Structure 1
Amino acid sequence: MDHVKPAEVLEAIIGAGADKAALGIRQMLVKGFLAGAILACATTLAFTATQQTSLGVVGALIFPVGFVIIILLGLELVTGSFALIPLAVLERKASFRRMLANFGWVILGHLLGCALYAVLYGLTITKMGTDLSHPLVHTLITTSEAKTLGYKAMGLSGLGLVLIKAVLCNWMVTLGAVMAFTSRSTAGKIIAMWLPILIFFAQGFEHAVVNMFVIPAGMLLGAKVSLTDWWMWNQLPVLAGNLLGGVTLTGLGLYFSLKKKASPAASTGSPVETGEGRFIPAPASRAGESV
């Protein structure tokens, strides 16, 4: 059967989280770099589709192509890891220190990948800086300002709003990462991943890696946004909200709903009653097995 049972999915994502935590620095940087650039490319594709059709939902239908490429190639997307690695830590298959190391190095890789694509794409749509008439120039500038100065104008309410939108965003993004484990076929994985990613992008929620491209790209093209505006009013609260949403709504939500508890008999070694008046010995626990 192509479909994978939810309990098996849980064990698979815990294992994937452990594997991610065990990556070396070079792997984390390069995989994060590639993922950031690919997601940035998918973002400009979605913006282009929206501009051409005047329908935001068309861009949302297209955007998940970047996420699919990242997952199928086994690259590192920190927002997806926000749900997977904490479960590996909870199961003692990865250390807290290794989790933080993964997050830090992958985020740095994202920033570098998004920055490179922002420069190259900016040179492309401005014809090497000589023409600012391309419609995507205006889109990137206004989006960059809306994602920073728009929240800044609201004060503390703006910080609360951006945090909420980040939590909702990564609830869907981490579900996309988990859904990749629900099928054994490539086609099944693609369809399963596509759905939650479409949901987040269509509703304008806040994704940290997308913003690592959109905001700096707008700044390079002339958006009146400072580094402080970028990090204080968007990037840091969005990272915090993405982490919170990924850990709680997806990671722990699935963990506590799907994790099977060992029976008292299995944990104590007591015999198990068969229901027919007979007893059979309880199976012995394997060394290192979680109970």
Structure 2
Amino acid sequence: MKNEQPPMMLAPKEITEEVCKSGESKVSKPFWKVLLSAMLAGFFIGLGYYGYLVLAGNSVMTTVPFFGKFLGGLLFPIGLVLIVIAGGDLFTGNCLLTMGWMSKRYSFSKVLANLGLVYLGNLLGALALAGLMSLSQTASETTREYVLEVAAGKTDLSFLEAMARGILCNILVSLAVYMSFAAKSVGSKVVVLMLPILLFVISGYEHSVANMFVLPFAKILGGEFTIWEMLLNNLLPVTIGNIIGGGVIVPGAYYLIFKR
């Protein structure tokens, strides 16, 4: 009798159960652990985004913008890979906690408490990285100019534009995190995480935690936008969009398909 090999990945229905189990673990973690892991996640996302900015803003790459965006998009997901493999709590990924609530595994108040604390931790981590990057003086003149250009575009969006881009972004980011539960090896997890993130980056969607890094960093570098514009034109609508995409659309659809 032949020994049966374990499956290479979880089936779609099994993923939903793993997401719910992960949610139970996340909402029961102590306050300080959630805050610390969220700070790490905000820091990691900023590191990945900075790598993208350095490559995409390179003077050679700007002559063929899509090529630079594509190669930079291969660096951006490194932040999410660090979070999933090493550990961390990311606001956009934790939006999937709503699936456990829909499945009656924990209360909605626990979802809100976790998301609020994780959002704060992500912000603190992203701000810490922005400050460190400024002190390090490693950004070249072309990188600085590109950071300012990117930030100016982000703060010039209308509320609806930013929210729509936030929805599209977190459909992809939450799907990346969701599908990573199916993968059984580190290599397969990395691939699963990178492909949806690459798509969101080259498409120009908006990620609230990444923006927590790039907008303050641009402000330190002399960005002409106001704090009010940063909040109202970007962070607020993008956050709302991220919640809709990753906390309603993706978990809601798969709850109805597999858990209802």
TM-score by length of 1: 0.82
> How far does the alpha carbon of each residue in 1:201-239 deviate from its partner, in whole angstroms, 9 at most, with x for none?
111100000000011110111101211111111111111
Alignment partners' CA distance in 1, 2:160 and 2:57: 30
* Shift, 1:79, TM fit: 0.3
State the partner residue of 2:75.
62
State the partner residue of 2:42.
36
> How far does the alpha carbon of each residue in 1:231-270 deviate from its partner, in whole angstroms, 9 at most, with x for none?
11111111100000112321111111223x6xxxxxxxxx
Higher relative contact order (CA 8 A, sep 6+): 2
Residue range with higher mean Cα deviation, 46-55 or 227-236: 46-55
> How far does the alpha carbon of each residue in 1:36-76 deviate from its partner, in whole angstroms, 9 at most, with x for none?
01110111111112133512111012211111110112210
State the partner residue of 1:281.
none
Q: Is this contact kept in 1: 2:8–2:183, CA < 8 A?
A: yes
Amino acid paired to 2:15: V
Q: Percent identity?
A: 30
Q: Is this contact kept in 1: 2:123–2:212, CA < 8 A?
A: yes
State the partner residue of 1:252.
252
- Segments of structure 1 that go 5 or more residues without pairing to the other structure are 128-132, 152-157, 262-291
- The structure richer in helix per residue is 2
State the partner residue of 2:131.
119
Alignment partners' CA distance in 1, 2:183 and 2:120: 31
* Shift, 1:89, TM fit: 1.0
State the partner residue of 2:220.
220
State the partner residue of 2:115.
103
Amino acid paired to 1:112: L
* Shift, 1:20, TM fit: 1.2
Where does 1:253-268 land on structure 2 (aligned, <5 Å)? 253-259=253-259
Where does 1:160-171 land on structure 2 (aligned, <5 Å)? 160-171=160-171
RMSD of aligned alpha carbons: 1.4
Q: Is this contact kept in 1: 2:69–2:201, CA < 8 A?
A: no
Alignment partners' CA distance in 1, 2:201 and 2:220: 23
Amino acid paired to 2:150: T
* Shift, 1:126, TM fit: 6.3
State the partner residue of 1:27.
33
Which has the larger Rg?
1
- Segments of structure 2 that go 5 or more residues without pairing to the other structure are 1-6, 62-67
Amino acid paired to 2:48: A
Amino acid paired to 2:127: A
Alignment partners' CA distance in 2, 1:125 and 1:118: 11
Alignment partners' CA distance in 1, 2:258 and 2:100: 15
Alignment partners' CA distance in 2, 1:45 and 1:77: 19
Alignment partners' CA distance in 2, 1:126 and 1:43: 15
Flag as ranges the 4+ runs of structure 1 deviating above 6 A: none
